[in-house]
Structure 1
Amino acid sequence: MTETTGQTEVLFYEQGASWLWVLAGPGAGAAMALIQLSAGYGIQWVVPGLFFVLVTLFLSIQVKAARIHTSVELTPEKLRQGTEVTLVDEIVRVYPEATGSETPKWQYARALGELTGVPRGRTGIGLRLTNDRTAQAWARKHAQLRAALTNLLEERIPPESAP
C-alpha cells in the first residue's frame, strides 16, 4: 500500500467511496422500464428517464462528497483525514486497540476530519497528540493504518530500551 506521487511517498491511502455506486442510476431507470413493460403499458420514457437522471445525479453528489470527506492519506510528513491535515510530528502515541467491555477514554475524543464523528464503516484509532490532546484517526482498513502510524512513530521516536 506504499506508492509514490511526485516527491511524496504515500504510506496509506483510502479513496472514501467508489464511483461504481453511480451505476445504480441506470439500473433504476432500467428497472422502471421493465416494470412498465411487465404491466403491459409499454415503455413510456419519461418515468424511467427521470429515475435514471435523479438517481444518477443524487448518487454522484454523494460519492463526490464521500471521496472528499472520508478519504484518508498518510505520508511520512502528514495524516490527512478528509480535508483536515495533521502533521505526523504532532502525533506522540498510538493507543492500543479497544478490547474488553470497558470503553477506553480515547474513544470519546474528537474524530479527525471535519465530520462530527468517526464515519460509518470506519474504525477509530486513538492518538495522543502534542499539548496533551487526544484524537481519533479512522479508516476502513484500520489495522493497516495503525501499523503504518506505529511504524512512523517508532522511526521518529525509538522505543525506550529496558536498562
Structure 2
Amino acid sequence: MTAGTNAKTDPLFREIGASWCWLLVGPVSAGAMLWIEKSNGYGWQLSVPLLFLVLVTSFIALQVKAARIHTSVELTHKTLRQGTETVKVAEIVKVYPEPDHPLASEKELERWQSARALGELVGVPKGRIGIGLRLSGGRTAQAWARRHRHLRAALTPLVEERVGTDELDEGPEIPPDAGARP
C-alpha cells in the first residue's frame, strides 16, 4: 500500500452515473449543422450552429450532472452510497440472493423486489438492476447498480464477515409492503 491511501475508505465498487463525454454531442451537432448549411449552398452561417452548440451542450451538461449526483453508486468497507443516500454497511443484515424471475416477468416476484429503492429516486433507476437488502430493524430495501453482480460480489462478503453466514437465514418474515413509501 502506498503512503496516503487508506484501505478502509477506498471504494470497493464504484459507478459514476454518467460520463462527461456526452458533452461532445453539442459540438458534433453544431458541426453537422454547418455541414448541412454548406452542402445546401447557404455558405457558412454561424448563428444556427452556435445556437445548437450552446443549447445542446448545456442541456446535456445538466442531464449528466444530475445523473452523476442521483445515479452514482459507491461501496466502501463502511458505507454504501446510492445517489445522495448513504447507508452504513453495519445496518445491512442480509443480501438476498438473485431473484428467480426478473421484474418484467409476469411470474411471482420476491418480496424485496417491491421494497423501496435506496436513494432519493422513486424506484430503481432505468438501466440498473435491484439487489435485495434486509436492513436492521426488519426493514427491506433495494440497492441498485448497472453492474449489479459486481456490487453483490463486493457487498455480500462484507455483510457475511460481520453477521456470519448462520445468522443470515434467521429473522422474521418481512411483510410485502414493509419499507414501501406511502
User: TM-score band, normalised by the shorter chain?
Assistant: over 0.9
Q: Could you state the TM-score of these two structures normalised by the residue count of structure 2?
A: 0.83
Please give the per-residue CA displacement for 1:112-132, whole angstroms capped at 9, x wherever unaligned.
001111111110001011111
Please give the per-residue CA displacement for 1:47-95, whole angstroms capped at 9, x wherever unaligned.
0000011100111111011111110001111100011000111101111
Partner amino acid, structure 2, of 1:21: W
Structure 1 partner of 2:128 = 122
**Tell me, what secondary structure is at the counterpart of 2:120?**
coil
Change (3 A) 1:38 1:116: same
Give 1:8 deviation, angstroms: 1.2
**Tell me, what secondary structure is at the counterpart of 1:111?**
coil
- Which moved further from structure 2: 6-15 or 40-49? 6-15
**Equivalent-residue separation in structure 2 for 1:78 and 1:62 (angstroms):** 26
Map 1:22-61 to 2 at 5 A.
22-61=23-62
Structure 1 partner of 2:10 = 9
**Tell me, what secondary structure is at the counterpart of 1:119?**
coil
Partner amino acid, structure 2, of 1:149: L
In structure 2, runs of 5+ residues without a counterpart are 102-106, 168-182
Give 1:9 deviation, angstroms: 2.4
Give 1:110 deviation, angstroms: 0.5
**Tell me, what secondary structure is at the counterpart of 1:17?**
coil
**Equivalent-residue separation in structure 1 for 2:7 and 2:160 (angstroms):** 25
Structure 2 partner of 1:78 = 79
Change (3 A) 1:64 1:91: same
**Tell me, what secondary structure is at the counterpart of 1:131?**
helix
Partner amino acid, structure 2, of 1:56: T
Identity %: 62
Alignment check: 8 A CA contact 2:92 2:133 kept: yes
Tell me the number of residue pairs that the alignment of Structure 1 and Structure 2 aligns: 158
**Equivalent-residue separation in structure 2 for 1:30 and 1:137 (angstroms):** 41
Q: Could you state the TM-score of these two structures normalised by the residue count of structure 1?
A: 0.92
Alignment check: 8 A CA contact 2:18 2:67 kept: yes
Equivalent residue for 1:106, pick from 84, 101, 112: 112
Partner amino acid, structure 1, of 2:35: L
- Superposed CA RMSD in Å reads 1.5
In structure 1, runs of 5+ residues without a counterpart are none
Partner amino acid, structure 1, of 2:68: R
Divergent runs of 4+, >2 A: 4-7
